[in-house]
Amino acid sequence: MVIAWLSLLPLLRLLVEALHPKTIIGVIASPVLARALMHSVVTSLGGAFVSLLIGTAYALAVSVTDAGARRLLSAAALLPLLIPAQIVALAWMQMLSPSGLLSLPPGSDAALYSAGGIALLLGVEHMPIVFLAARAALAGIPAELIEAARAAGAHGPRVLARIVLPLASPGLAAGFGLATVSCLGSFGIPAMIGIPARYPTLAVLIYQRLAGFGTAVLPEATVMALCLAVVSGIAAAANGWVARRADVRTIGGTAGGTAYRFELGRWRLVVTAALLALAAVTAVLPLGSLVSTSLSRAYGVPLRPATATLGHYATVLATPEMAGAFATSAWLALAAATTIIALAIPLAVLRAWGGQVWLKHLLGAFDRVIDAPYALPGIVLAIGMILLYLAPLPLLRVSLYGTGWIMLLAYIPRFLPLGLRPVQAAVARIDPATDEAARAQGARFLHRLVAITVPLLGPAAAGAGILVLLTAFGELTVSALLWSPGNETIGVLIFSLNEGGDIAGAAAVSVLCLAAVFAVAGLTALLPASARRVLPWAA
């Protein structure tokens, strides 16, 4: 019940607040809202399209060809999972700036500040969603179906066009839909690029209103948030509808057996080089430029041995509020991960093996509710949290608004699906007989949970916890609205340093943030395989 409260109540509260006819009419009639909504839809569809193109290209190369460096290409396609959106935006800005690795002339980044620029970066950031969906879809195509086409005399391109892509299309469509929904809710990229470009998306508009006028415009912001929620909901529903209709099941064959690999022959080198070049442009150059900016003495000065300095890092580490952001993000991420895993294990176990029928039904219904905060744009969740906790808590007479706790309370529903789904999958893999055997020995639920289930689930749960930890560490969307002085997160710090013009400082914080994320992600290589299976980049 407590968790349902956490997940559902912010949204219910939001509804009550906004359902005042005057507010609704006033906001909906405004051309500002319509324009921002249009911007959201255009950039999201554009971003999802970019994701579809490059994600599918990587997935095809990695899954159904003998292209070289396939592990490296896989890693390049999944890398954006580990990089917070605002850092992606900052890194691309640096790549196109004079202090970037390419040492471009000033003004080269003008094209980035446009709808196309936002869509491009959204596309890069959400590419892993399409890549993972496409890779799974391609791996599910039985090799015989491709062999049969080749035996019928079809050469590579025709097999690709008539057999491989049609069979993978449900997966590709699902990836495209998920990427669209995710783009609609994204904040970091449209904020970093769209605010200077005067091209606000709806999420950015809501942020600007609340940041500019405070809680006075809360009802107005609430209606806007609901509009965004409705659009996301429609996109998510459309995605589900397509997924249910696309019933291209495969017949016979050994799905999941050894996948078919096209021999590229003389094209092998070309394909490999093209995709590595793409990886260089989408990952290596931006991140390298981020590092070079963080090391250059003054913004806009090309990096030379004479102009290099570690001063920005020294400043970041020496300034208490900057160093404090690392502490805030760290404790928030750790607390969120721990709480979510502590909740996920009993939830998953009860849902799978719970004895009582009513309990199963309740948890089944709850299962659908849980996804709501994750599918909904983070900014909508944040507004719900403000509405819920702005007033002092009953009895305690303290308000959580303005403390770090409100962010933790928002992170838990936001990232619960991320932690719960892998644990549920792990429960499904455990033989129920292990639990039944313990029952037969007379062990009660709690005893079984501690003695049998938790040890068996431990690795997967740890993997899921790390996934939540790394995602929450660089979070910006929710904390952009919920932070308070003394409780800045790293995401907020990067965002405000950039907004304040301290680009080098923002770059230095970003590099430190990425260093921490990559270090933790790198350490997961030491985990047992059963824990690593949960992590998309290790699978």
Partner 1 sequence: MRIELVDVVAAFSERRALDQVNLDIGAGEFLVVLGASGCGKTTLLRVIAGFHRPISGEVRIGGRVVSGNGRFVPVEDRGLGIVFQSYALWPHMSVAGNVGFALARRGVSRADRQRRVTRALQQVGLEDYAMRYPMELSGGQRQRVALARCLAKAPAIVLLDEPLASLDPALRGAMQDEFIGMHQRLGSTFVYVTHDQSEALALADRIALMQQGRILQCDPPRVIHDCPASAAVARFVGGGALVPAIMLAAATDGRTRVRAAGAEWLVRTGRGSTPGPVTLCVRPHDLALGQAADHGSARAVVLDARYQGSHWLVRVRLEDGTELEAAHSGEPPARGKSVELRILDGWVVPDAIPVSEAGTQFTRR
- Supply the DSSP string of 434-480, one letter for each residue: HHHHHHHTT--HHHHIIIIIHHHHHHHHHHHHHHHHHHHHT--TTHH
300, 376 Cβ separation under 8 angstroms: no
The distance of closest approach from Cβ of residue 262 to partner 1 in the complex, given in angstroms and rounded to an integer, is 10
Query: Is residue 249 part of the contact set for partner 1 (CB under 8 A)?
Result: yes
Among 38, 161, 250, 528, binds partner 1 (CB under 8 A): 250
Nearest to 264 by CA among 256, 255, 274: 274
The distance of closest approach from Cβ of residue 191 to partner 1 in the complex, given in angstroms and rounded to an integer, is 42
54, 282 Cβ separation under 8 angstroms: yes
Nearest to 335 by CA among 408, 410, 417: 408
The distance of closest approach from Cβ of residue 146 to partner 1 in the complex, given in angstroms and rounded to an integer, is 9
Between 169 and 338, CB nearer to partner 1: 169
The distance of closest approach from Cβ of residue 448 to partner 1 in the complex, given in angstroms and rounded to an integer, is 41
The distance of closest approach from Cβ of residue 209 to partner 1 in the complex, given in angstroms and rounded to an integer, is 48
Nearest to 419 by CA among 476, 467, 474: 467
Query: Is residue 244 part of the contact set for partner 1 (CB under 8 A)?
Result: no
Measured distance between the N- and C-terminal CA atoms of the chain, rounded to whole angstroms: 34
420, 344 Cβ separation under 8 angstroms: yes
Q: Which residues pair with 308 in a beta bridge?
A: 296
227, 38 Cβ separation under 8 angstroms: no
Calculate the dihedral angle through the C-alpha atoms of 60, 66, 72, 78, rounding to the nearest 10 degrees.
20
Q: Which residues pair with 493 in a beta bridge?
A: none
- Contacting range for partner 1; rule: CB under 8 A; set: 93-101, 243-251, 416-424, 513-521: 243-251
Among 252, 305, 320, 355, binds partner 1 (CB under 8 A): 252
Query: Is residue 163 part of the contact set for partner 1 (CB under 8 A)?
Result: yes
Among 5, 211, 254, 393, binds partner 1 (CB under 8 A): 254
Between 251 and 519, CB nearer to partner 1: 251
CA 215/CA 12 separation, integer angstroms = 18
Helix, strand or coil, per DSSP, at residue 272: helix
The distance of closest approach from Cβ of residue 289 to partner 1 in the complex, given in angstroms and rounded to an integer, is 43
Between 250 and 434, CB nearer to partner 1: 250
Report which residue type is found at 463. Answer: G
Between 140 and 378, CB nearer to partner 1: 140
The distance of closest approach from Cβ of residue 151 to partner 1 in the complex, given in angstroms and rounded to an integer, is 4
Question: What stretches of 319-393 show up as alpha helix (H) in DSSP?
Answer: 320-353, 357-375, 378-389
Between 247 and 431, CB nearer to partner 1: 247
Among 26, 68, 233, 253, binds partner 1 (CB under 8 A): 253
Between 1 and 151, CB nearer to partner 1: 151
Residues in the chain: 539
Nearest to 390 by CA among 10, 1, 3, 22: 10
Between 261 and 360, CB nearer to partner 1: 261
Query: Is residue 242 part of the contact set for partner 1 (CB under 8 A)?
Result: no
- Contacting range for partner 1; rule: CB under 8 A; set: 119-127, 233-241, 248-256, 306-314: 248-256
CA 440/CA 448 separation, integer angstroms = 11
CA 160/CA 528 separation, integer angstroms = 37
The distance of closest approach from Cβ of residue 150 to partner 1 in the complex, given in angstroms and rounded to an integer, is 5
Q: How far lies 90's CA from each of 188, 470, 496, 509, in Å?
A: 10, 19, 12, 11
Angle at the Cα of 358 (from 357 to 363), degrees rounded to 5?
100
Site string for partner 1, 133-162 (x = CB under 8 A): ---------x-xx-xxxxxxxxx--x---x
Report which residue type is found at 416. Answer: L
Report which residue type is found at 20. Answer: H
Query: Is residue 248 part of the contact set for partner 1 (CB under 8 A)?
Result: yes
Between 64 and 184, CB nearer to partner 1: 64
The distance of closest approach from Cβ of residue 256 to partner 1 in the complex, given in angstroms and rounded to an integer, is 13
Site string for partner 1, 164-203 (x = CB under 8 A): --xx------------------------------------
The distance of closest approach from Cβ of residue 70 to partner 1 in the complex, given in angstroms and rounded to an integer, is 18
Between 142 and 185, CB nearer to partner 1: 142
The distance of closest approach from Cβ of residue 141 to partner 1 in the complex, given in angstroms and rounded to an integer, is 10
Between 249 and 397, CB nearer to partner 1: 249
Residue 534 per-residue DSSP state: T
The distance of closest approach from Cβ of residue 170 to partner 1 in the complex, given in angstroms and rounded to an integer, is 10
Between 258 and 356, CB nearer to partner 1: 258
- Count of residues that interact with partner 1, criterion CB under 8 A: 25
Binding site for partner 1 (CB under 8 A): 142, 144-145, 147-155, 158, 162-163, 166-167, 247-254
